[in-house]
Amino acid sequence: AFRTCDIADSEQVNDTVAAILKDYKHIDALVNCAGIAYRGLLTDMPDATWHHLLATDLDSVFYLQRAVLPGMISRGHGAIVNVSSMWGEVGASCEAAYSAAKAGVIGLTKATAKEVGPSGIRVNCVAPGVIDTDMVQVLGPEVLHDLAEQTPLGRLGTPQDIANAVAFLASEKASFITGQVLTVDGAFVG
């Protein structure tokens, strides 16, 4: 069964997690992978756009972690995988808000991992590079071709590349990995 909610609204997140727990009794893994972007100069960004982007890309990670952690802690088991971005590590011109939010996801990941590690919970992060998704398709074919050429592996990443990394970090194969950022970017040099 699927549930939908506005992940930028803490009450909706809490209600949705409560409904999931009612049906399934516990949550083994949480993957936070929502994200929106804003391309443009920081000086041109309206306040409302800034707040909406941070609420979607960063606040939601906090809300969802906070909602699922009590159950994971009481069971002494669980995995959280947050999806950031390579721009959260190095920043991107004309994507200051996105870069700031994704850097916040990295900081939240590392801090939460230290906080809940003693309870048996692992918290890690995947930082995708340029991935062939709807969000990057707006850049156009020429830019995407140039980005693929700037990637030593000679291609853009795929959603499956990211899913494989997330699945690994959420699995017991990663049972001694926590507080880490796995960059999946084909060694992008842009």
Q: What is the Cα–Cα distance from 111 to 24, expressed in whole angstroms?
A: 28
Task: Indicate if 98 belongs to the active site.
Answer: yes
Closest CA to 29 of 129, 190, 161, 168: 168
SS3 at position 65: helix
Lookup: tokens for 105: 């996801």
Per annotation, catalytic residue among 24, 38, 63, 98: 98
Closest CA to 57 of 30, 86, 37: 37
Strands 121-128 and 181-184: parallel
Q: What is the Cα–Cα distance from 50 to 36, expressed in whole angstroms?
A: 11
Element spanning 124, H or E: strand 121-128
What angle do the packed helices 10-24 and 60-75 form, to 10 degrees? 30
Active-site residue set: 98
